[in-house]
Amino acid sequence: MLNDIQEVLYGANQIQQKVKELGQTISREFEGRNPLVICVLKGAFIFMADLVKEITIPLEIDFMAVSSYGQSTKTSGVVKIMKDLDAPVQGREILIVEDIIDSGLTLSYLIDVLERRNAKSVTLVTLFDKPAGRKVELEADYKGFVLPDAFVVGYGLDYAEHYRNLPFIGILKPEVYEK
């Protein structure tokens, strides 16, 4: 598995430090708002778990699974809801937790869904941002690291469902998927 990594971009300690800072900022921002923190499965599961431990105010959590990449390194352009939220979001202050924004299609779709369900507010936090990949205009309210235009895996992010368990984020060797 480690053999397939071309370059480590951010290690576990650097990520941990950044997640801590994001948690502190979010704690200040959402004081008294009882946010509903939504994890975008599957990619965001590790970031979500680490982030909520750094948030010091009351909150609720829920999970939504959406997928558009499948077994490919390129977005299919079609965002599918694999698992929906358990509870209504009407009137709630939402914090969406995402691992990465690339084309922006996943989050623009999700924001649209939540706004149509009458959420009171929708705020975005992403650990990684790849601005070079954008197909729709979309900016996170809070972001951790800006990444180069390369296919990355680890810390929740996959290629064909693998590599999610790597504790760092790294560039996948193109020879792994260029076959």
Name the segment binding Mn ion (CB under 5 A); options: 22-30, 39-47, 85-93, 118-126: 39-47
Q: Which residue has the tokens 């936090």?
A: 125
CA pseudo-torsion sign 156, 160, 166, 170:
negative
Three-state secondary structure call for residue 150: coil
Number of residues that bind Mn ion (CB under 5 A): 1
Residue 93, contacted partner among Mn ion, ligand PRP, Mg ion, none, CB below 5-8 A by kind: none
Interaction between residue 155 and Mg ion (CB under 5 A): no
102 is catalytic: yes
d(CA 115, CA 133) in angstroms, rounded, equals 24
Options 50, 102, 129, 158, the catalytic residue? 102
Binds Mn ion (CB under 5 A): choice among 15, 35, 43, 176:
43
Residue 102, contacted partner among Mg ion, Mn ion, ligand PRP, none, CB below 5-8 A by kind: ligand PRP
Gyration radius (Cα) of the chain, Å: 16
d(CA 153, CA 156) in angstroms, rounded, equals 7
- Applying CB under 6 A, which residues contact ligand PRP? 40, 42-43, 67-69, 75, 98-106, 158
d(CA 108, CA 79) in angstroms, rounded, equals 10
d(CA 122, CA 111) in angstroms, rounded, equals 7
Interaction between residue 158 and Mg ion (CB under 5 A): yes
Q: Which residues contact Mg ion (rule: CB under 5 A)?
A: 69, 158
Catalytic residue numbers read 102
